[in-house]
Amino acid sequence: MNERIPVGVLGATGMVGQEFVSFLRDHPWFDLTWLGASDRSAGKRYREATTWRLGGAIPAYVADIVVSECKPGDGVPKLLFSAMDAGVATDIERAMAGAGHTVVSNSRNHRMEDDVPLLVPEINPDHLRLVREQRRKRGWSGQIVTNPNCSTIVMVMALAPLKQFGIRKIIVTTMQAISGAGYPGVASMDINANVIPYIGMEEEKMQSETQKILGDFATTKIQPLAAAVSASCNRVPVVDGHTMAVSVELEKKATEAEILGAILGFRGIPQQKGLPSAPPCPVIYMEEPDRPQPRRDVERENGMAVFVGRLRKCPVLDYKFIAMGHNTVRGAAGAAVLNAELMQAEGLL
Ligand code: NAP
């Protein structure tokens, strides 16, 4: 590309907004030029409006940008990443799409709407065809595309290679990092040396989002995967990286070697097209019996790959394994940026 595409972030001052700012630094295709937040922040320079909570200093390339209100208008770039508070994202994202913007959203608000792609570029790039129906039905000149919840994406990346064997049942128990709760997140008195066996709405999201992502595009809508999904979600004292124990029942009886071969050979369009944020190998199998571990593995591959280990027979379903991925990178900002890269590569921006 000769010129980088100007982009903005809605909700740039929050935790996920900061992840976008960090992830987009030096991006070869996208140039972050516009930052939006609430009217509490609008009019201030970014360094005054936000308390930088990621490692290192606030990136110099954005520090002096004056934060805007999240309203359509002059100077708002056509491509917007959204990291807004879920309480306000529905109306603002719709207003931006109606005004001709492409909103690549990380918020949960539109994920399960029939005409909105819940996109994982390695798994369901064809779901992008929903945007044609979305524009027709809603009369928008813009569009909304979403990425999954941070625990769902780790599991679906690990399960996608097995879709060829027919997935019938999934049982998953998660061990989720505290960064997934945003800032200030879970009180230290609750999470230190403890496990909290409840994360509001997380189990429902894992169940419904998995069926949509692994479903098939049929003419104008998604036929969800007809698999039963049972999720138990837990918060554990880990900073970054969601780990999960997954059991799966398959329609075709596959050998362990066939399952492993499918995982090792799994690649998608982002790898074929060499998209800038695509990890060369999206699902990495670890042979060591005590891996993956969030503290040791979460930062590998820029946080964009999912790590799988301990594949073995399950005496209740067919197979079980451990999966782990970076919840604020592959589970948030990195996922959205990869979605936008795919859209650019497909001529949809
Ligand atoms: P957060 O830290 O509370 O940030 C919320 C952002 O929304 C801030 O930039 C805030 O701006 C902005 N905002 C609030 N009210 C607004 C309004 N009326 N108009 C425009 N902007 C407004 O939240 P977060 O943890 O980053 O999460 C952001 C979104 O990502 C949520 O929808 C969340 O569910 C989703 N998500 C989070 C994670 C995670 O790991 N935390 C992972 C996946 C998805 P001000 O600073 O001006 O208030």
Residues 168 and 302 in one domain: yes
- Which of 101, 110, 150, 233 is labelled catalytic? 150
Give the bridge partners for 148, in sequence order. none
Cα separation, 272 vs 49, in Å, equals 40
Q: What are phi and psi of 98, to 5 degrees?
A: -65, -30
Cα separation, 133 vs 306, in Å, equals 31
Give the bridge partners for 313, in sequence order. 319
Ligand 1: lining residues by beta carbon, under 6 Å: 11-17, 37-38, 40-41, 70, 83-86, 88-89, 106-108, 150, 179-180, 182-183, 327-328, 331-332
Residues 57 and 163 in one domain: no
Residues 74 and 223 in one domain: no
Ligand 1 binding pocket mutation candidate from 40, 50, 84 (most atoms within 8 A of CB): 84
Which CATH number goes with the domain that contains 79? 3.40.50.720
Q: 94: how many CB neighbours lie within 10 A of its CB?
A: 17
Cα separation, 24 vs 343, in Å, equals 16
First-residue to last-residue Cα distance in the chain: 14
Which tokens belong to 27?
Answer: 């991006």
Secondary structure of 163-231 as H, E, C letters: HHHCEEEEEEEEEECHHHHCCCCCCHHHHCCCCECCCCCHHHHHHHHHHHHCCEEECCEEECCCCEEEE
- Which of 101, 110, 127, 242 is labelled catalytic? 242
Residues 315 and 185 in one domain: yes
E strand or H helix that includes residue 2: none
- Residue partners of 344: CB distance under 8 A and separation at least 6: 5, 29
- What separation in Å is there between the alpha carbon of 270 and the centre of ligand 1? 27
Closest residue CA from atom 4 of ligand 1? 14
Are 320 and 247 a contacting pair, CB within 8 Å? yes
Residues 227 and 124 in one domain: no
Residues 126 and 175 in one domain: no
Furthest CA-CA distance within the chain: 60
pLDDT of residue 2: 77
Residues 340 and 313 in one domain: no
Would you say the C-alpha torsion 246, 254, 289, 239 has a positive or negative sign?
negative
Residues 167 and 279 in one domain: yes
Cα separation, 321 vs 176, in Å, equals 16
Is 110 a known active-site residue? no
- What separation in Å is there between the alpha carbon of 51 and the centre of ligand 1? 13
Cα separation, 47 vs 292, in Å, equals 36
Which CATH number goes with the domain that contains 256? 3.30.360.10
Are 147 and 328 a contacting pair, CB within 8 Å? no
Residues 172 and 235 in one domain: yes
Cα separation, 88 vs 172, in Å, equals 31
Closest residue CA from atom 12 of ligand 1? 11
Residue 137 burial by Cβ neighbours in a 10 Å radius (0-12, 13-18, 19+): exposed
Global pTM?
Answer: 0.97
Residues 244 and 103 in one domain: no
pLDDT tens column, 91-107: 999 999 999 999 999 99
Is 150 a known active-site residue? yes
Domain that holds residue 254: 150-326
Structural domains of the chain, count: 2
Q: 40: how many CB neighbours lie within 10 A of its CB?
A: 10
Residues 86 and 214 in one domain: no
Residues 154 and 291 in one domain: yes
Write out the chain's pLDDT in tens, 349 residues: 779 999 999 999 999 999 999 999 999 999 999 999 999 999 999 999 999 999 999 999 999 999 999 999 999 999 999 999 999 999 999 999 999 999 999 999 999 999 999 999 999 999 999 999 999 999 999 999 999 999 999 999 999 999 999 999 999 999 999 999 999 999 999 999 999 999 999 999 999 999 999 999 998 899 999 999 999 999 999 999 999 999 999 999 999 999 999 999 999 999 999 999 999 999 999 999 999 999 999 999 999 999 999 999 999 999 999 999 999 999 999 999 999 999 999 999 9
Cα separation, 63 vs 49, in Å, equals 10
